[in-house]
Structure 1
Amino acid sequence: MFLAPLVAAAFLLLHSYVAAADVVTPAYKAATGFPPCDALIRAGLGNRLLLATDTGYEPRIASWWSLNTRHRPWCLVKPHNAAEVSTAMTALLGAGAGNGAGDWHVAVRAGGHGPRLSNNIDNGVTIDLGMLNQATYNKRTNLASIGPGGRWKDVLAKLLKYGVIVPSGRDGDVGVGGFLLGGGSSYYMGREAFACDSVRNFEVVLTNGTIVNANKRENADLWRALKGGGSNFGIVTRFDMDALPAKDIAYGTRFMSAEYSSELVDAIAHFTDHYQEFDTDALVAFLMHNTSAFPVDVVTAAIHVNTEGIHNSTGFKKLNRIPSLIPDETRSLSLADAAEDSQLPSGTWNFGATITFKNDKRILAHAVKLHEKYVKDLNHDIGPENFVSLVLFQPEPSFLGDISKRRGGNMLGVDAQEHNAILWTGGVAVKSDERALAIARTRMSAMVAELKEFSISLCGESRLIYMNYADPSQDPLGSYGQENVDHIRRVAAKYDPLGVFQRRFPGGFKISRVGL
């Protein structure tokens, strides 16, 4: 039994993914009237543009996962390689694009899965990296070379043909680029830490059009900054990652009654404190409101995985003692198949936020109560059938920082974390409209604030705000610690001296805003 089909039932929507390769792009030669789009035509990219008058435009817009991000740019430019990304960059930032005249900006889309205002734009141009979706393997170097525009279900299927995998997104519809630049939480964290720690080399297009590599020996400061530093330096056009042998994983989902929430809290806390003993296991516990799947307000659940394919791992002993609402069918399957089966449906209004706190049963129990209140309030405000809510608990033990440090370090700052922590994430999907989303967002923001205050009262606050789950009102970069903030600032100033990614690429979290 998998989470995605049950969540999908709550929406009663078809998944609307449209592959980049399916969109036919006309060859533009005449002026469009939009200065940046015309600059792209003059640069020779007329056959890479999509405008609103093209038949492929609306299907491509519909491929953004969340309704929040289905903006309509003046044009989409779809480069096929790093050289074309370079051409697009120099054309859009050149004098001929009308820079300084009017209020327009540039967005960059990798997979288009994020619900935040980070990967699309209305007034301006979106650079759509969907055609940079390659996934190849070099046996001599043991490196998998992956394009930013691929989605993990497709990337893993391609790599499986070589007999390898890489630490990846668990939802198969998540894109490569944003996932890796924000850190990357995977089933392999117990041994590999964050997915970004497996990146041996980044190929990057800088704002002046230069294509550089960033690795341990070449542009090493940029290499480290890109591991969690987000969209502050350039456009990554290839990730070279350390590959792992492809083995079937043991994958299961356990659904339990909310009356056993205290037992689930005990299982989460125990697993987190003993994670290093069970480093081939992965546990993601969650609370869910989904009336189409379960005729109750809240159920508790957990996804449990063993990456060596071992069924009934002792790491899940406490979890397996909790009665299951439906049979917990642990299956052996490839990581590619797990990603294919684990996709949240698109086409809803979405909001999410995150914090971390010390692995403390009292805080975990309070988080359960806060979600129960959240569901009760939204039932009254917008109706129980109009939303699905998820609250996730993911282990974040301190030893992850040690692994990251041995592999060259990243920006997230977990190496300075002295205690085992829990990465808490709240998410809500609303079916009806933006008014209902605003209510759901307001109540969730209040829930986050109350949970943070409670953790502080028990001296249980933890610093990290994980970028990939953060709301735009949060400050993930600032949570990395002053040393890492200073490093990101230095690297951004060095590789983007004019601050183009701070001013003209508004999507994502910007280092220039930290501390303001």
Structure 2
Amino acid sequence: CDALIHAGLRDRLLLPTSPSYEARIETWWALNTRLRPWCLIQPHTTAEVSTALTALLNTTTSTTTTTTEYSAGAGDWHIAIRAGGHSVNPHANNIDAGVTIDLGALNATTYDRDTNVASIGPGGRWKDVYAALREGWGVAVAGGRDGGVGVGGFLLGGGLTYFMGRRGFACDAVRAFEVVLANGSVVEATRDNEHGDLWRALKGGGGQFGVVTRFDVDAVPDRDLAYGIRFMDARYAPALVDVLVDFTDRYEEGSGDALVAFLTYNASINAGAPVAAAIHVNTDGERDSPGFAGLNRIPSLQPDSTRAMPLADAASESQLSSGTWNAGATLSFKNDARILSHALALHSQLTASLSASLAPASFQSTIFLQPLPAFLGAISARAGGNILGLGSSSHHQQQQTRNAIIWTGAVAVTTGPRDLAVARTALMGMARELRDFAEGLGGGDGFVYMNYADAAQDPLGGYGAGSVALLRDVAARYDPLGAFQTRVSGGFKVSRVVGV
């Protein structure tokens, strides 16, 4: 931290002796990510991010981005980068023995009517971004569904939104990234400039090439959503599976519908019995969209909750509570009722296993199921491509001509890290068993959505050989000494991908 003081950033530091440090640590979403860095540095400008990186990595720079070397004095301890702090992986955005660069102050949202582009800081949270765009300019962007999620990690990981039927992944709407590289230089990466390779790599490649300090994103008209959550007795979960399979196969590009099905166990609700549910949204505000006709035929535990709602309010309503120890894992597979039914059975087994080894009231377990339609690759291609590999000629050639499902498992524990370790082990076992079952039916799919992945998973390797090759080339060009591969602790690294 002395290096930051010597660089003139004393006023941006939070030290462990400060009450502000303690208050800031408590803003990390999951308790298991509330690590204790030697200090937090909170830059307010891109220039301050550059100064901080240069001081921490102690780099010297020539006039090009490819001739950088470290000089002595800053040590070799590690750095973490935090935008919203919502990952469940402990070192994704924080660190114990090192310095965390906290981008929370880089949270401005502006809009240019001439270009229809919103410029958004990485430290913003989606509910605030939506509110600012609606109140200031009457527009929106296709961003996060959970209002507490930060902008930076969400967009760099791809981004699942309510607008996927028309816009694809959230990263497909990013026109430009402002990026501070390891040597402190600042570049703007766009589709058509000399940094087009970096632009594509950042669209799903994570924060492993530099610190993004601004995202320029195509705006969309701001309309109230038709938003609802339908809760069902778990005995109707098989019917919900059938609805999801049919919805996914009928899902057409241009649709304003979005559907997320889930099954959850929480001892404090429904007398401790599992509950099936579905979040259903129409982005045109169509309350009785025919796409949800099958869903509406399933008996509900509550009266119909569908109502007109601003995007910011929907994001707030979908915001997950913080203050627990959390783990999550994800995979994808063919849109097949047999695989989905097995996922339901495995969740029941997980709940029974954890209830036997932990106090039943000490944990919550959930599986989320959402469409991954084949047409997403075409949307991405028209937007200049991303790095996710969906629809590419070299990756998932058979799989990505068919519709798929993204499965996500999540556990939340109230009783501490030891019980979290038990729950995470069981969760990862469930994920492996489901993957093996899907592959046994010829329904496996290597795509692993980065933002939901456990640290032990390999989303980058799942993008395919062509994408991995580009990621390696971009890392070599923009970070030739590998600072973000070795000194920045968090996220998934192309240097760790094997066998691709």
Structures share a fold, TM > 0.5? yes
Matching residue within 329, 337, 341 for 1:361: 337
Mapped pair 1:203 → 2:186: no
Partner of 1:11: none
Aligned partners of 2:408, 2:73: CA distance in 1, in Å?
39
Matching residue within 231, 253, 256 for 2:229: 253
Aligned partners of 1:188, 1:95: CA distance in 2, in Å?
42
Of 249-258 and 407-416, deviating more is 407-416
Q: TM-score, normalised by structure 1?
A: 0.91
User: Match of 2:415, SS?
Assistant: coil
Matching residue within 187, 190, 195 for 2:162: 187
Q: Is the 8 A contact 2:158 2:450 kept in 1?
A: yes
Aligned partners of 2:59, 2:208: CA distance in 1, in Å?
22
Partner of 2:46: 82
Matches within 5 A, 1:25-174: 37-94=1-58, 104-116=77-89, 117-161=91-135, 162-174=137-149
Aligned partners of 1:229, 1:195: CA distance in 2, in Å?
13
Q: Deviations over 1:136-180 (max 9, x none)?
A: 100001000000001111111111121011111111000000000
Mapped pair 1:474 → 2:448: no
Aligned partners of 2:33, 2:290: CA distance in 1, in Å?
42
Partner of 2:415: 432
Q: Is the 8 A contact 2:476 2:482 kept in 1?
A: yes
CA gap of 1:95–1:310, structure 2 versus 1, over 3 A, is closer
Partner of 2:238: 262
CA gap of 1:432–1:426, structure 2 versus 1, over 3 A, is same
Aligned partners of 1:296, 1:179: CA distance in 2, in Å?
33
Alpha-carbon distance, 1:461 to partner: 0.3
Aligned partners of 2:245, 2:370: CA distance in 1, in Å?
10
Aligned partners of 1:513, 1:109: CA distance in 2, in Å?
21
Q: Is the 8 A contact 2:3 2:74 kept in 1?
A: no
Mapped pair 1:390 → 2:327: no
Alpha-carbon distance, 1:328 to partner: 2.2
Q: Deviations over 1:253-308 (max 9, x none)?
A: 00001111111010000000111067100000000001212213311100000000
**Matched positions, count:** 480
CA gap of 1:99–1:444, structure 2 versus 1, over 3 A, is farther
CA gap of 1:146–1:101, structure 2 versus 1, over 3 A, is closer
User: Match of 2:273, SS?
Assistant: coil
Alpha-carbon distance, 1:502 to partner: 0.5
Matching residue within 187, 195, 200 for 1:212: 187
User: Match of 1:508, SS?
Assistant: coil
Q: Is the 8 A contact 1:278 1:315 kept in 2?
A: no
Q: Is the 8 A contact 1:281 1:304 kept in 2?
A: yes
Q: Amino acid of the residue matched to residue 240 of structure 2?
A: L
Partner of 2:152: 177
Q: Is the 8 A contact 1:204 1:214 kept in 2?
A: yes
Partner of 2:384: 408
Matches within 5 A, 1:420-459: 420-459=403-442
Aligned partners of 1:442, 1:209: CA distance in 2, in Å?
40
CA RMSD, 1 decimal: 1.4
Q: Amino acid of the residue matched to residue 426 of structure 1?
A: G
Q: Is the 8 A contact 2:253 2:375 kept in 1?
A: no
Matching residue within 488, 497, 509 for 2:480: 497
Q: Amino acid of the residue matched to residue 131 of structure 2?
A: A
User: Match of 1:295, SS?
Assistant: helix
Mapped pair 1:464 → 2:447: yes
Aligned partners of 2:468, 2:79: CA distance in 1, in Å?
24
Mapped pair 1:236 → 2:212: yes
Matches within 5 A, 1:323-362: 323-362=299-338
User: Match of 2:315, SS?
Assistant: helix
Mapped pair 1:322 → 2:322: no
Aligned partners of 1:190, 1:463: CA distance in 2, in Å?
22
Q: Deviations over 1:413-464 (max 9, x none)?
A: 1123121000000001000011111111111111001100100110000120
Matches within 5 A, 1:482-493: 482-493=465-476
User: Match of 1:131, SS?
Assistant: coil
Q: Deviations over 1:366-410 (max 9, x none)?
A: 000000111111111112211111100010010011101110101
User: Match of 2:272, SS?
Assistant: coil
Identity %: 60
Alpha-carbon distance, 1:336 to partner: 0.7
Aligned partners of 1:54, 1:340: CA distance in 2, in Å?
30
CA gap of 1:213–1:103, structure 2 versus 1, over 3 A, is closer
Partner of 1:20: none
User: Match of 1:282, SS?
Assistant: strand
Aligned partners of 1:497, 1:380: CA distance in 2, in Å?
50
Aligned partners of 1:227, 1:277: CA distance in 2, in Å?
20
Aligned partners of 1:308, 1:137: CA distance in 2, in Å?
22
Gapped regions of structure 2 (runs ≥ 5)? 61-69, 393-399
Aligned partners of 1:464, 1:261: CA distance in 2, in Å?
25
Matching residue within 357, 360, 374 for 1:381: 357
Aligned partners of 2:138, 2:437: CA distance in 1, in Å?
47
Q: Amino acid of the residue matched to residue 169 of structure 1?
A: G
Q: Is the 8 A contact 1:202 1:239 kept in 2?
A: yes
Alpha-carbon distance, 1:93 to partner: 1.0
Partner of 1:284: 260
User: Match of 1:379, SS?
Assistant: helix
User: Match of 2:7, SS?
Assistant: helix
Q: Is the 8 A contact 2:95 2:489 kept in 1?
A: no
Gapped regions of structure 1 (runs ≥ 5)? 1-36
Aligned partners of 2:52, 2:483: CA distance in 1, in Å?
14
CA gap of 1:91–1:100, structure 2 versus 1, over 3 A, is closer
CA gap of 1:490–1:213, structure 2 versus 1, over 3 A, is same
Q: Is the 8 A contact 1:297 1:375 kept in 2?
A: no
Aligned partners of 1:313, 1:435: CA distance in 2, in Å?
46
Alpha-carbon distance, 1:103 to partner: 5.8
Q: Is the 8 A contact 1:103 1:123 kept in 2?
A: no
Aligned partners of 1:362, 1:242: CA distance in 2, in Å?
39
Alpha-carbon distance, 1:70 to partner: 0.4
Aligned partners of 2:416, 2:166: CA distance in 1, in Å?
42
